[in-house]
Chains A and B, each alone.
Chain A
Amino acid sequence: MLEVRNLSKSFRLPKPKRGAPKPASVDPREDGRWFHAVRDVSFQAEDGKILGLLGPNGAGKTTLLRVLSTALTPTEGTASFGGVDIVREPKEVRRRLGFLSGNTGLYGRLDVDEMLRYFARLHGMTAADADRRIATLSETLDLGTFLTRRCDALSAGMKQRVSIARTLVHDPDIIIFDEPTTGLDVAAAEAILRLIERCREQGKTVVVSTHHMNEVERVCDAVVVIHQGRLRFSGSIAQMREEGGHQALDQAFLKLVDYKATGVSDAA
């Protein structure tokens, strides 16, 4: 189970350049020399459930996920995975966590098998355990045909499947997917959604950050919406529709994040 308690993350802003013009509008998260990317966020994700993390671009989702994955340290508050605190025991969290981001890359000069073995070794797995695990993942994700191919020679869909295998190679209890289907074709996206559902069946805690409401409707059991670093909503999909005042999930989402159409005139 994932438990997030009053989590905040702020970054110190660089000194403005002398003589630089003042911006027309200031981001409400800016406070003097500080930028509050995530402010006082609390929510829970249960084992065997998929939690959807929603928010417009720049809402603070990636920062929040980076804090949860221990890449960044929270400024205030904390979170725990199955009782293991991300601040006090980051190494133990990393042992239990799988993190997949759309931004993460692969080692182009290694072949798929070498790369998976590398990550297995990084997680302290023995060679025999790695063999078994890679065989399982190869079957699940259909990696067999390109297991010995260098990562820089793979297609986008293949790369995403390898990234997922890399995320799951140490059989983590908690898995975070940050925009896992971005840039993928329908078939590749479908394969990933099935895999996410399979993780739920295995009783793992899953957090999925996405912009696709159809994916949310299909796989998520609960939803968290953040906007400008703050929590706007936490609950089930039915509750989100109710609170957003729309049956269409995208409209409910827009209502929750106070969306106001800008930049497109009515005449257009």
Chain B
Amino acid sequence: MLRDIGVVYRKEMLEVVRDRKTLVFMIVLPLLLMPVLMQLVTDYMRKTEQKAQTETIAYVLVGAEQLPALGEAFAQAPGFEAKRATDVSALAEAIEAEELDLGLVVVPPPEPGGQLEIEMHYDNASTTSKVKARAMAVIEEVEASVRRQRLGEVGIDEPETQAAVLEPMVVVERGTASSRERIGELFGGILPYFLIPFCFLGALYPAIDLGAGEKERGTLETLLLSPLPRSSMVLGKFLVIFTTGVVAATLVVAGLGTWLAFKSSDMGGVFGEIVSAIGPLDLTLIAMMLLPTTAMMSALLLSISIYAKSFKEAQSYATPLNLLIVLPVMFAMLPGVELDWTWAMVPVTNVALAIKELVKGTVDYQMLSVILVSSTAVAAALLWAAIRWFNQEAVLFRQ
């Protein structure tokens, strides 16, 4: 039987590596997509952040006479450029027309010495804008100065006493979770979004080609008329699809790993620490988790492909499967969903949770074996169904 499977596997693999489309999905895209995507995103974010921090903010201060210190502070703060005072009612229009970035209006207190109100007009729809943060830094400095002055007026001069009056209690956080755990919760949750779909994408095209594609080209019938057991044919084809899925997923990890290796020193900080803390054992375990997941998808895609009459029909059946992959991964991101005995039995979600735990460094190794066993069982059942499918003439010669 192994010889028979080998014969089919070698031939199908040869065809796969000679197919440009499959090579793109299996090697080029997984290897390059992540580094290119990550580089583009980080470059864009860095540039946007830099721009927001350094660009000159055009501002107008109305009612400066109420608080002369504020006018002076903005005049001296770097990166702020005062514009000719305008009517308060025209501020929003000027900001919308991008003639102005910030409008400050000091509203006089109802009684002398009372609380001043400062209206801040700015475009709060922009998520990258630093106008508010930069303006607040200047205002808070002035506010602290006014506060100290007012405390001094009532006889509280000592800075320590002033601090005790202003902040009688200070909470110092002492979280027990390590920084790897905290940042890993987010990074480890995102990682399966890239890894698991690529197991699917890598397997998708060869799966369609090896089943429906063969039907369409008229080569399946010649294969069926050979004396090879049908189970050997399915297993040979399945192993090719599985290989392409695993290669794609491995190359995604390799691409991401290479990018991180070059960039983690630039990143520094906690994220850099986490990246360097993920060791070869963690990466091996992540890869091991992906194996039964890829096997499941390969068996499922092969069944669909065998059932479909044409390449196009197989594509239309396989595309909605994307949701079947993404939804269980999304479950793993939901608050309160943790890797336990129940979730360890849920295909795909269990692997996404395990990857998260591995990145966080909090994995229960016993749970990993449960996931491996349950996922392998599901993959075996799906493969068995594919073999049965391949033995039904109503499926093979569907009209």
Contacts and interface: CB of A to CB of B under 8 A. Distances in A.
A105 B18 contact: no
A122 B217 contact: no
Interface stretch (A90-98, A213-221, A255-263): A90-98
A232 B397 CA distance: 26
B221 interface: yes
Contacts, number: 66
Contacts of B221: 71, 99, 101, 103-104
A122 B394 contact: no
Interface in A109-140: 109-110, 114, 118-119, 121-124
B393 A69 contact: no
A109 B399 CA distance: 27
Interface in B1-35: 7, 11, 14-15, 18-19
B215 to A, nearest CB: 10
A70 B222 contact: no
B227 A108 contact: no
B217 A105 contact: yes
A105 B393 contact: no
Contacts of A118: 7, 11
A36 interface: no
Contacts of A101: 218, 221
Interface string A7-33: 000011000000000000000000000
A11 B399 contact: yes
A121 B24 CA distance: 30
B222 A104 contact: yes
A72 B396 CA distance: 10
B42 interface: no
A92 B229 CA distance: 11
B225 A114 contact: no
B274 to A, nearest CB: 44
A69 B15 contact: no
Interface residues of B, number: 23
Contacts of B226: 94, 119, 122-123
B265 to A, nearest CB: 44
A110 B394 contact: no
B369 interface: no
Contacts of A166: 222
Contacts of B15: 107, 109-110
A66 interface: yes
Contacts of B223: 122
A105 B218 contact: yes
B11 A71 contact: no
A201 B227 CA distance: 26
Interface in B340-386: none
A237 interface: no
Contact of B397 (A66, A97, A107): A66
Contacts of B225: 69-71, 94, 97, 99
Interface in B274-317: none
A73 interface: yes
B219 interface: yes
A183 to B, nearest CB: 13
Contacts of A1: none
B165 interface: no
B218 A124 contact: no
A94 B19 contact: no
A114 B228 contact: no
B77 interface: no
Interface in B207-240: 217-219, 221-229
A66 B222 CA distance: 11
A141 interface: no
A94 B223 CA distance: 11
A105 B14 contact: no
Contacts of B394: 11-12
A106 interface: yes
Nearest to B396: A71
A110 B228 CA distance: 20
B11 A110 contact: yes
Nearest to A13: B399
Contact of A108 (B217, B224, B396): B217
A91 B224 CA distance: 10
Contacts of B397: 66, 71-72
B20 to A, nearest CB: 10
Nearest to A99: B225
Interface in B223-269: 223-229
Given A105-B219, A122-B7, 18 more contacts: A11-B399, A12-B394, A70-B225, A71-B221, A91-B229, A92-B227, A99-B221, A104-B218, A105-B222, A106-B219, A107-B11, A107-B219, A109-B18, A114-B11, A119-B226, A121-B7, A122-B226, A123-B226
Q: Across the A-B interface, give the 9 residue pairs with the lowest CB-CB distance, nearest first.
A: A105-B218, A122-B226, A105-B217, A94-B227, A109-B18, A109-B15, A95-B227, A121-B7, A91-B227
Interface of B: 7, 11, 14-15, 18-19, 217-219, 221-229, 393-394, 396-397, 399
